[in-house]
Copies of this chain bind each other. A is one copy, B any other.
Amino acid sequence: MMVVLTGGTGGAKFVQGLEQVAPAAQITTVVNTGDDLVWWGLHVSPDLDSITYAMAGLLSRERGWGVDDDTFHCLQVIGRLGAPTWFQLGDRDLAVHLMRTQLLAQGKTLTHATEMITRAFGIGSRVLPMTDAAVETRVMTPSGELSFQEYFVRERWQPEATGVKFLGAETALPAAGVLEAIHTADAVLIAPSNPITSIGPILAVPGIREELRETPAAVVAVSPIVGGAAVSGPAGKLMQSQGLPVSVEGVARAYADFLDVLIIDERDTGRASGVESLGIAVSVTKTIMQSSSDKVALAHAALTAARRVEKLPSRTAMNAER
């Protein structure tokens, strides 16, 4: 059994590879919901959707988000009606948001809505939101606080980020099944997602970070930083805002309290010692996923690295043995 902690695009690619090398029934994906937003009155969960579409074979390759070959006819008309359109929802994509919004309005949890939607798409693995509570990633900038999507999509992550916070995280509970999945997994894999705003919100939900420290599972992360820069998106800028170097060492530091292995790109071989000095093993491979075989190779490397980890009995396990 394995658990993947993930955000959106990079995580979706990683999960696509993993599905090729492991049975779907053995994979539980725990997904960031700090990016969620209410848009045109609908509850949109961009990262859950990217993972869902990736697993269903529907994710747009061209855009990296939304449904492949989707149309934007609703968007054109709603723009004419005066609604903002800087965050784009395709017509097919809308169906998922409509269904989720209805289920939530009926009092169902986000976990339940996600299960129902992933099943309907024929997805055999388990996809869990990090929490059923509202946790909202906010980015501080010199000209004010922005929601994550305002920062990322509307402002194209150009404003200087001076800080990040996760509103509501303190009182959020992990979604049902998250802690158990991490605790009973053979491997916990952290996708090459932004450590601050994709994995960060997951770690901010009380109990999850603690369980990552305690679990007997091997914890393996793939660095989203290659050659001193983010493979895509604002990970570098946001790591800087948190006082972390934009390097594999910075990624290792973000996860230092629970990580067993960091998988780094071949280009970063020279920086391995900085990671190892934190007590974290390093595995070197090609981490940029361009082709389908790149994805498979990276997933294979992550699982291999996890199998090689020999963990000392955790405090929990020792307690259980007493």
Binding site secondary structure of chain A = helix
Interface string of A69-112 (1 = CB under 8 A from B): 01101111110111100000011101110110110010000000
B99 near A74 with CB under 8 A, answer no
Identical subunits present: 2
B120 near A80 with CB under 8 A, answer yes
A102-B40, A120-B82 are contacts. A94–B94 as well, Cβ < 8 Å? yes
Residues on the B chain within 8 Å of A76, using CB: 92, 95
Complex Cα distance, B74 from A96, in Å, reads: 9
Does A1 lie at the interface of the complex (its beta carbon under 8 Å from any beta carbon of B)? no
Residues on the B chain within 8 Å of A92, using CB: 73-74, 76-77
Closest to A82 in B: B120
Which of A12-45 touch B at CB < 8 Å?
40-42
Given B40, B74, B77, B81, which contacts A74 in the complex, CB threshold below 8 Å?
A: B74
B81 near A117 with CB under 8 A, answer yes
A94 near B80 with CB under 8 A, answer no
Given B81, B90, B99, B105, which contacts A95 in the complex, CB threshold below 8 Å?
A: B81
Residues on the B chain within 8 Å of A121, using CB: 80-81
Given B80, B83, B98, which contacts A41 in the complex, CB threshold below 8 Å?
A: B98
16 A–B pairs (Cβ distance < 8 Å), ordered by A:
A40-B98, A41-B98, A41-B102, A42-B98, A73-B73, A73-B91, A74-B91, A74-B92, A74-B94, A74-B95, A76-B92, A80-B121, A81-B121, A83-B99, A91-B91, A94-B94
Binding site for B on A (CB under 8 A): 40-42, 67, 70-71, 73-78, 80-83, 90-92, 94-96, 98-99, 101-102, 105, 116-117, 120-121
